[in-house]
């Protein structure tokens, strides 16, 4: 385990074997499924459609009807409200009981979220994705939910990392009083901690067209398990908070080398993509 000085990554760990045989959340679908779709399921219901398995189609998370509840653990509410300073084994094990058996890379991150609504400024699916893949009338995919952007950084000239936090329920479902309570904590501390299961999808078009900005999109997506009110509070006031991320190796669309690099790339300074030839 390491604890880098960089404020963006507070701690990282070696891959852990976590999860249970009958989880509430699981990844499903793929090239051998009936329709080839990758899905994140909650209580066996499709909650999010994910990037197509081929890796050359655009990156995607699309909220479906099954994404209709949070997964907070009442016994940990006070502990997470106070916040974590390191990778906390009991907290990890508690949330692992919601997840499918597999390998996970634990990370404790510091994030500063910005709320994004589809089709509004900052929407990845209407901006960066369209610049690379194109789209019908300027729009490629529609995520069917507001979401948070938290970080981006170049990997090299031909790849860029984008980071997202995706709530299991829309922010409009949050309780305003609880959001205000968390904002009061965040006004004096950035320690309050949210929890997410995370995927890395590496997607790049198979055909490189000269008029488009073609590069590999490394999409780190944190599906929020706990902390919906915290993250809305942080976004509303431009505050930072912490995120305990369990990066699913089995649920990701990336090779082992890319997955092993995520924590180190995440330690880099935040920076937008520099378009080649610009």
Domain for residue 139, yes or no? yes
Which tens digits make up the pLDDT trace of 73-99?
999 999 999 999 999 999 999 999 999
The residue ranges of DSSP E strands in the chain, in sequence order, are 9-12, 16-18, 25-29, 38-42, 45-50, 61-63, 102-111, 114-116, 147-156, 159-166, 193-203, 216-226, 241-248
Question: Which residues are CB-contacts of 243 (< 8 A; sequence separation ≥ 6)?
Answer: 108, 109, 110, 111, 165, 193, 194, 195, 196, 222, 227
Domain-embedded: residue 100: yes
Q: Is residue 1 part of a domain?
A: no
pLDDT digits (tens, 9 = 90+) for 242-272: 999 999 999 999 999 999 999 999 999 999 9
Question: Is 273 a member of any domain?
Answer: no
Element (H, E) at 159: strand 159-166
Residue 57 belongs to a domain? yes
The domain of 28 spans 9-266
What's the domain count of the chain? 1
Confidence of residue 1 (pLDDT cuts 50, 70, 90): very low
Reduced to 3 states, what is the DSSP secondary structure of residue 7?
A: coil
DSSP helix/strand/coil, 123: coil
Token output for 51: 């990037």
Condensed to tens digits (0 to 9), the pLDDT of residues 175-216 reads 999 999 999 999 999 999 999 999 999 999 988 777 788 999
Mean pLDDT of the chain: 92
**CA pair distance 261, 268, nearest whole angstrom:** 11
Determine the pLDDT at residue 5: 41
Structure tokens at 80: 């997470």
From residue 209, give the alpha-carbon distance in Å to each of 60, 131, 132, 151, 215: 21, 11, 9, 27, 11
Q: Is residue 229 part of a domain?
A: yes
Confirm if 110 and 7 have CB atoms less than 8 A apart: yes
Query: Residue 156 is encoded by which pair of tokens?
Result: 């090299």
Q: Residue 173 domain-assigned?
A: yes
What pLDDT, on the 0 to 100 scale, is given for residue 212? 87
């Amino acid at each position: 385990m390491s604890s880098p000085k960089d404020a963006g990554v507070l701690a990282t760990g070696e891959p852990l074997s976590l999860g249970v045989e009958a989880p509430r959340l699981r990844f499903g679908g793929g090239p051998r499924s009936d329709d080839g779709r990758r899905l994140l399921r909650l209580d066996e219901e499709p909650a999010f459609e994910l990037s197509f398995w081929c890796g050359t189609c655009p990156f995607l998370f699309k909220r479906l009807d099954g994404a209709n509840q949070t997964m907070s653990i009442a016994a940990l509410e006070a502990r997470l409200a106070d916040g974590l300073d390191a990778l906390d084994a009991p907290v990890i094990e508690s949330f692992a009981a919601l997840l499918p058996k597999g390998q996970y890379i634990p990370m404790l991150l510091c994030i500063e979220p910005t709320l994004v609504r589809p089709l509004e400024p900052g929407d990845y699916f209407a901006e960066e994705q369209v610049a690379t893949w194109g789209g019908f009338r300027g729009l490629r995919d529609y995520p069917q939910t507001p979401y948070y952007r938290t970080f981006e950084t170049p990997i090299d000239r031909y790849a860029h990392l984008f980071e997202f936090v995706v709530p299991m329920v829309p922010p409009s479902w949050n309780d305003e009083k609880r959001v205000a309570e968390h904002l009061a904590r965040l006004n004096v501390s950035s320690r309050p901690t949210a929890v997410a299961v995370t995927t890395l999808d590496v997607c790049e078009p198979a055909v490189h067209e000269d008029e488009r900005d073609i590069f590999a999109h490394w999409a780190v997506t944190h599906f929020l398990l706990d902390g919906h009110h915290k993250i809305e509070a942080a976004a509303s006031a431009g505050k930072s908070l912490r995120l305990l991320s369990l990066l699913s190796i089995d649920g990701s669309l990336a090779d082992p080398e890319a997955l092993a690099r995520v924590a180190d790339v995440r330690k880099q300074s935040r920076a937008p993509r520099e378009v080649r030839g610009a």
